Amino acid sequence: MNKVALVTGGSRGIGLGVAQALAREGFDLGICGVRSESAAAEAMATLRALGCDVFYIQADVSIRTDRERLVSQIKGHFGRLNALVNNAGVAPTVRADILEATEESFERLVKINLQGPYFLTQAVANWMILQKAALPSFTGCIINVSSISSTVASITRGDYCITKAGVSMATKLFAARLGEYDLPVYEIRPGIIKTDMTNAVTTKYDKLIDEGLLIQGRWGLPADVGRAVAMLARGDLAYSTGQVIMVDGGMTVKRV
């Protein structure tokens, strides 16, 4: 019986790269996103071509009833869940200086990037505890995809940075709480990754990369993040709960 992973925001960008890596590891997949099933159909076909069972659920993680329905439908379809990958997230619609940014943008990002995954983790963790009690050989983990913005300040994206810093603390909190159940919790911090979210700043980062911003002088790819998630979901770092994996091309390494 294949293990099952739920990847939020798994039909595009980093999430799709994660889902592809997990499919290649033999996981069956629950994928959620805000797009309709028809809009996500091409991505789902790509995943099914890798030989896994893929179940798509249109859901917004910022909405409590959507989260409840998401977990319920995963239970109904698979009957089990071994890995939750909290990947869904958004950037601010307008990059605004923190002296001018709006409360509406702040509230939107908090609900989607932080509150949603926090309470989805709560629901899934409680289910994993029950699975572990019913079957002692059960293995599960939770993987949070945050960002280098959890520690690297960007004054035109203050709301984004604060939500990602919150995800970092949520990782520590859930790791501490779930240790007694041997359910590890990890965080992956991607750097500059080539996705539709970064399309608008391609020219800016092309220039910075050319000027030596990164130790490894290229854009990161969704597949780079996917390989890191697959390593954790396989259990390769089973004795490292609460740890952070940097996937940033060396951007945050201090240099002189």
The question of whether 160 is a catalytic residue gets the answer: yes
Q: Which amino acid is at 160?
A: Y
Helix (H, G, I), strand (E, B) or coil at 174: helix
95 close to 159: Cβ distance less than 8 angstroms: no
The one catalytic residue in 3, 56, 164, 186 is: 164
Q: Which of 83, 185, 79 is nearest to 139 (CA)?
A: 83
* Alpha carbon distance 73, 144 (integer Å): 21
The secondary element (H helix, E strand) that includes residue 25 is: none
| Listed residue (115, 173, 113) closest to 142, CA to CA | 173
Catalytic residue among 160, 172, 207, 239: 160
Asked if residue 18 lies in contact with residue 85, where contact means CB atoms within 8 angstroms, the answer is yes
Q: Which of 125, 119, 121 is nearest to 140 (CA)?
A: 125
Residues marked as catalytic = 160, 164
